[in-house]
Structures are given as C-alpha cells and as structure tokens.
C-alpha cells in the first residue's frame, strides 16, 4: 500500500493510503524473514535463543505501530450530534498522547497534540478527536504532514467554523543518531477558519495552557 495525495474536494487534497497495490502486501512470513535479514545485517545471529522469536515480536509490534493504515477517518467522524442546546464556542482537547514513527528512519516520534474546533451546527464525541489523532499518528509520518492531516480530516468531515491542531513532540532520529540532541522539541501547528483570528487563537492558547 502506498500513501498518496487524493482529491477529496475541488480544491482540497488529502494524504490517503492507496489500495491499488493491496495485493502486493507481503505476507507475515515474508515480514518475519525481512526482520531476520536485518538482524543478520546488524551483525547478530537470528537463530540464537534471545533473538529466535524476535521476528514474530517485531511483526506483531508493527501491527500496533501502524494500525492507522487500516482505520478510516470518515468512519471515525461519521456520527455527530446536532442537539447541543445552542453551544457555539470552541471544543478543545489538550494533551492527547502522540506516538508515531518517522518515515525517514522509522524511529519514534513522541509528544502531545492539542486539537480544537469551532462547531457550526454539530459536534462529535470528544473521544473521536483522540482517535482521529491516533489514526494519523499510527502511520509512517513527518510531524508536519500529520498535523495537516488531522486538521484536514476535522475540516472535511465536521465542516466546522474553524479547526486548530498543535503537535509538540520529540524525534528519536534527532536524539539517538545524527546530531544527537534528544531534548529538542518540534512544534507544528495548523489554524484554519476562525482560528486565524488573533482573538480566537489567543483564547485557544489560554485554554491549552490551562
């Protein structure tokens, strides 16, 4: 399966997983064989006791790490509620745990996401904001792309007055290799619609900071 940009509206593009090559997906046995090859390439023996079951464990772990490829954002955000007694202010979920993997080195990205939207005529269950974040996090990612994807999904399927997404995370590819700066945090943000207004944006930051 390949990640590609697909047109969802006249002027909107969204990164989606192409099903065109779904039949080409390797089997679990092939995935485990690839792990054994990597162990050998690293200089160890995949047949020794401590590594014997490692290929199975890695394949199982990858199913968890990259579960987002099998999740549909449209389905997650499909059920909404219109009876909110006139509620028309922002909905903010702060401190959503983000565990993703860098698409360049396949090592962890760890941090927090703050997600908000301003409802127009309907709201979604608050757990769905965490789920949509997790859907995109559990894929091979860059932080910039992930931030835009979460905003795109909320904007596309809820059609709110505005949406805000901020991700504050560390990258293991910065900490354990290369420049080796483990305590550097990367902040990415997307403000759409009414959140581009300075007053609304300031209110968002006030709520996020508690």
User: What residues are annotated to the active site?
Assistant: 102-105, 143, 171, 173
Length of the chain: 210
Show Cβ contacts of residue 52 under 8 Å, excluding neighbours closer than 6 positions.
Answer: 46
9 is in an annotated binding site: no
Query: Is position 102 annotated in a ligand binding site?
Result: yes
By the 8 A CB rule, do 76 and 131 touch?
Answer: yes
Query: In angstroms, rounded to a whole number, what is the distance separating the alpha carbons of residues 160 and 32?
Result: 44
Closest CA to 93 of 146, 143, 130, 132: 130
Residue whose pair of structure tokens reads 């490829």 in the numeric block: 69
- List phi, psi (to 5°) of 32: -65, -35
Q: Is 176 annotated as a binding residue?
A: no
Binding residues for Zn(2+): 102, 105, 173
């Amino acid at each position: 399966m390949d990640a590609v940009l697909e047109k969802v509206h006249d002027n909107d593009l969204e990164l989606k997983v192409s099903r065109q090559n779904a039949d080409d997906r390797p089997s679990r046995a092939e995935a485990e064989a690839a792990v054994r090859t990597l162990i050998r390439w690293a200089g160890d023996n995949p047949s020794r006791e401590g590594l014997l079951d490692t290929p199975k464990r890695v394949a199982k772990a990858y199913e968890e790490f990259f579960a987002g490829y099998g999740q549909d954002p449209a389905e997650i955000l499909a059920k909404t509620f219109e009876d909110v007694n006139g509620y028309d202010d922002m909905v903010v979920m702060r401190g959503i745990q983000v565990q993703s993997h860098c698409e360049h080195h396949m090592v962890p990205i760890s941090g927090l996401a703050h997600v908000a939207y301003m409802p127009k005529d309907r709201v979604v269950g608050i757990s769905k904001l965490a789920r949509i974040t997790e859907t995109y996090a559990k894929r091979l990612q860059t932080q910039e792309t992930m931030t835009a994807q979460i905003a795109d999904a909320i904007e596309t399927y809820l059609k709110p007055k505005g949406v805000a997404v901020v991700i504050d995370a560390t990258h293991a590819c910065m900490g354990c290799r290369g420049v080796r700066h483990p305590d550097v945090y990367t902040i990415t943000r997307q403000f759409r619609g009414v959140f581009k207004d300075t007053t609304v944006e300031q209110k968002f930051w006030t709520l996020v900071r508690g």
